[in-house]
Chains A and B, each alone.
Chain A
């Protein structure tokens, strides 16, 4: 297909790490893709394969009908020919060149001037990279990459080298910059907030493999396997038995409780996945509500994280709820007290455990 990037790469690193990743990205529908996974999952390695800096031992990479790499017929495009702008984690600015000459390093026509303008770098043009802040360095690196008119932009952990304040600000600006650049981008991160804020499409990578790919919200809400659920940080993944199914609904036995959810035709063994933010807490066991799943339990711990409170419950199995610190305070929750966790039917997702 014309608007896609497909990659099947298999390579063994000197450390013995095996990368075996298959990726198909709809670049035109989803301009910003996030390659998501824990540290050591092989995300940077895959990015380097896409950029052409490393060769896979077996594999094929096709970008918009153009073969970048095919080990089967020794097809290979050098990084220079791929024109995939790579923004390194620590930016790799040329230390001996001023900001302006960094941006102009490979710029065509008046692109350098336009990028200096768009990224607000005019005031820094004569400074050397070591004399500007991390956030400014990142803008220089992006401007330098875009001035070279790339076909694809690759960003390795673009926000990780920034301090917390700059990070939040840059996160807000980065998506707008990436979209206005009109170049599809792939960015690597292990941070869920970054993924949600920046990307349209998400590919989850664990242990050198792409386990699931799709629209960000879809992947976060419906992890296909327990491994993906763990990687994307779904707090509750519970072993479950299928009790009964009728009328498009599935009744799952979890511990001594029964959870109702939508029936996707899964067969046992299964897992029930519930995001902590989809778990509500109430004291009144009989209150009328549209929420069908009511799980009596005992509060184990309450940890306040900024505006949010993470409440661990024992419902016969551990269950984590994420509520606002304000409501935790209003309910004056204390460890040891009994209450009821309620979960909407549509918030319980079934994962095939096999």
Chain B
């Protein structure tokens, strides 16, 4: 089994989950409570990775982080490295790709918090940030945990985006799903078998845990 690829996938999934928690919480909060008329546009952009072929997303990310793009040039100036075919580039692509799996459960959890509880806290003199920390976060905790688990599991399993943006560099960008692809291509069916089975068991355990914790089906965009 390709333990190096498995280790890399876990590292990438963990980093992606952490970044997405930081980015997703404010974004989901805004999506759940904002009354802006153009909110649906942001919702649609966040949900795009659900329907786009990973190759399309990967292609645009590759272009956007290339050394001639503003982002790639900035990264090059700051670190002296290149984003494409690096772990950082892979991380950026993974964050975009798993965004809906973080934001949507969070929005569902935030929307389920009774608005009057927030208003009660405000009338008691507690600031909006304090209310978020002391009322919304504790009540939305199961949804936030679901978001973390789903984005972690989804990142472990991604293939197309990784192939487009990361290529196939052992120890740098060769994740577990690409390793399985390689093994199959080189007719190493035993290796592919083992790694695949590991992934199936891992995914099943994660989802079973999530659903037993949540006790309700996770839906795409929640009603409002």
A-to-B contact residues, CB < 8 Å:
51-53, 78-80, 82-86, 88, 90, 92, 94-96, 105-106, 144-145, 148
Contacts and interface: CB of A to CB of B under 8 A. Distances in A.
A80 B119 contact: no
Contacts of A144: 124
Contact of B117 (A78, A84, A92, A148): A92
**Majority-rule SS of B interface residues:** helix
A148 B119 contact: no
B126 A105 contact: yes
A271 to B, nearest CB: 41
B122 A78 contact: yes
Interface of B: 114, 116-117, 119-127, 134-135, 138-139
A51 to B, nearest CB: 6
Given A92-B114, A94-B135, A84 B124 contact: no
Contacts of B139: 95-96
A86 B117 CA distance: 11
8 contacts: A52-B123, A80-B125, A80-B126, A82-B123, A83-B125, A92-B116, A105-B134, A148-B124
A92 B125 contact: no
A105 B139 CA distance: 15
Given A53-B119, A79-B123, 15 more contacts: A51-B119, A51-B123, A52-B122, A53-B122, A80-B126, A80-B127, A82-B123, A88-B116, A92-B120, A94-B117, A105-B121, A106-B125, A144-B124, A145-B123, A148-B125
B138 A53 contact: no
Given A80-B127, A88-B116, A96 B138 contact: yes
A15 to B, nearest CB: 16
A86 B120 CA distance: 7
Contact of A106 (B116, B117, B126): B126
Contacts of B134: 105
A105 B117 CA distance: 12
Nearest to B138: A96
A144 B117 CA distance: 13
Contacts of A90: 116
Nearest to B131: A80
A83 B125 CA distance: 6
Contacts of B126: 80, 105-106
Contacts of B119: 51, 53, 79, 86, 88, 92
A82 B127 CA distance: 12
Contacts of B123: 51-53, 79-80, 82, 84-86, 145
A32 B42 CA distance: 48
Contacts of A95: 117, 139
A141 B125 CA distance: 15
A266 to B, nearest CB: 44
A246 B123 CA distance: 56
A106 B123 CA distance: 10
A106 B122 contact: no
Contacts of B138: 96
Nearest to A54: B119
Contacts of A84: 123
B141 to A, nearest CB: 9
